[in-house]
Amino acid sequence: MISKERFDLTVNHRQPDQLVVDFGSTSVSGIHVRSIESLRKFYGLENKPVRVTDPYQMLGEVDHELIDILGVDVVAARGRKNSFGFYNHEPLMEYLTPWGQKVMVPEGFRTTNDENGDVLMFPEGDTSATPSGRMPRSSYFFDAIIRQKPIVEENLDPKDNLEEYGLISDSDLVYWKETTQTAHATGKAVVAGFGGTALGDIAHIPGIKLRNPKGIRDITEWYMSILMRPNYIRAIFDRQSEIALENFSRLHQVIGDNVDAVFICGTDFGTQNSTFCDPEQFDDLWMPYYRRINDWVHANTNWKTFKHSCGAVEPFMSRFIAAGFDIINPVQLNAKGMDPAHLKKTYGKDLVFWGGGIDTQKTLPYSTPEKVREEVLCLCDIFAKDGGFVFNTVHNIQANVPVENIVAMIDAIKEFNGKK
């Protein structure tokens, strides 16, 4: 059974011959460049700089060598540009990170240092613009710099929060046709993030790709606006979803079934112990737009829809189902109410759990390889029954995870699959 066949069974809640595995197909299921380098060294692969695929989080490329070693079944069809708005592909150049690692980055990856030694990143790679990202000198990834202008209530215009959303160009259609064909030809399942459907994702609110972001761009102000300015938010979501569906229609005409799953939205609804809003507020403010997008996808394509939300979102699971999502990620099993057995029993016939294969807050970075093995085998035993489970960690693998623990996780997957 090839990866694509295995994936199709899994996402349709049928038992595959073995676990479907993902490392690196999305911005929320990847591996930091430092951990990629450690893995390459451990497995005796060529000592070469790791390519950065996501500059914001400094995620690295899981290339064909690691795909084979890790048993990966899912690959990405990546967009032309990244979160900072510059071209994310070749030609590449060498870059030395603050922690001393040589990596390969796109030419638009231009940084400066401030007086504290923090690394600054710029929208569209334009160093003459105000920086939009900051990597503290002791950190391993960038944070958004909030560039909120003073808000004049009577001058607020939803169009300002829609500046980065627009109809897809003919050149982008050609690009997506070619890149999805290449990904599909691997025999792996293909995940694409076409963009345009963020619907309040706080990774997008600050507008880090924009030189001069207008509207509501402070994350705290955005959360307050959900209560204070719901009609403003609705106007943004309404137009955003209209644009998205027009783009989806154009895209589907040229890429068809080259894509298997589409990343729809990364808006987080949970904290470690609670939710960001009441379920009824979700029904009022997000449900209609999620439903509109998912209904169109299911009526017109064979794509599965992928929803990301960290945190204690068990109260929202039934609502994610009602909104039409096929896949939920990352399954933060250490958050309140996120008991794996309960989630699988209660929602496993309707939702594919993508992630939840091991806790990345405590077990993977701080436990022993044997404890890692035990947890992986236990969670796979819970989630893998009757399909509906794509193995990944609870969010991205970070920079300082001991390589022995990552290898123990990989070995445990192989053990579960009867390959070790």
HEC per residue, 186-221: CCCEEEECCCCCCCCCCCCCCCCCCCCCCCCCCHHH
Residue 44: pLDDT band (50, 70, 90) is very high
At residue 191, the pLDDT reads: 98
Distance between start and end Cα atoms, the chain: 18
Two structure tokens written together for 240: 């955003």
At residue 419, the pLDDT reads: 78
For 270, residues 6+ apart whose C-beta sits below 8 A from its C-beta are 276, 309, 310, 311, 312, 313, 316, 332, 335
At residue 124, the pLDDT reads: 97
Residue 360: pLDDT band (50, 70, 90) is very high
For the chain, state the CA radius of gyration: 21
Q: What is the mean pLDDT of residues 167-180?
A: 97
Two structure tokens written together for 376: 């992986």
Burial class of residue 340 (count of CB atoms within 10 Å of its CB; 0-12, 13-18, 19+):
middle
> Which one, of 243, 236, 156, 234, lies nearest residue 204 by Cα?
236
Cis amide linkage into residue 330, ω under 30° from 0? yes
**CA distances from residue 4 to 61, 179, 253 in whole angstroms, order as listed:** 20, 17, 21
Q: What is the mean pLDDT of residues 277-300?
A: 96
> Which one, of 255, 252, 259, lies nearest residue 75 by Cα?
259
Q: Do residues 413 and 21 make contact, with C-beta atoms less than 8 angstroms apart?
A: yes
Cis amide linkage into residue 91, ω under 30° from 0? yes
Q: Domains in the chain, please, with CATH?
A: 3-48+61-90+149-416 (3.20.20.210)
Residue 187: pLDDT band (50, 70, 90) is very high
> Which one, of 202, 192, 114, 207, lies nearest residue 162 by Cα?
207
Q: What is the mean pLDDT of residues 296-324?
A: 98
Task: Say how far apart CA 219 and CA 200 lie, in whole Å.
Answer: 10
Q: Give the chain's mean pLDDT.
A: 97
User: How much is the pTM?
Assistant: 0.97
% pLDDT > 70, the chain: 100
pLDDT over 90 (residue 129): yes
At residue 420, the pLDDT reads: 66
Q: What is the mean pLDDT of residues 146-166?
A: 96
Q: What is the mean pLDDT of residues 173-194?
A: 98
Task: Say how far apart CA 290 and CA 241 lie, in whole Å.
Answer: 8
Backbone φ/ψ region at 200: left (φ over 0), alpha (ψ -120 to 50), beta: left
Q: What is the mean pLDDT of residues 394-415?
A: 97
E strands in 28-97: 50-54, 59-60, 74-77, 92-96
pLDDT over 70 (residue 179): yes
Q: What is the mean pLDDT of residues 277-289?
A: 95
Backbone φ/ψ region at 199: left (φ over 0), alpha (ψ -120 to 50), beta: left
- Phi, then psi, of 54 in degrees rounded to 5: -135, 95
Residue 263: pLDDT band (50, 70, 90) is very high
At residue 255, the pLDDT reads: 97
Helix (H, G, I), strand (E, B) or coil at 30: coil
Task: Say how far apart CA 76 and CA 46 lie, in whole Å.
Answer: 23
Q: What is the mean pLDDT of residues 349-369?
A: 97
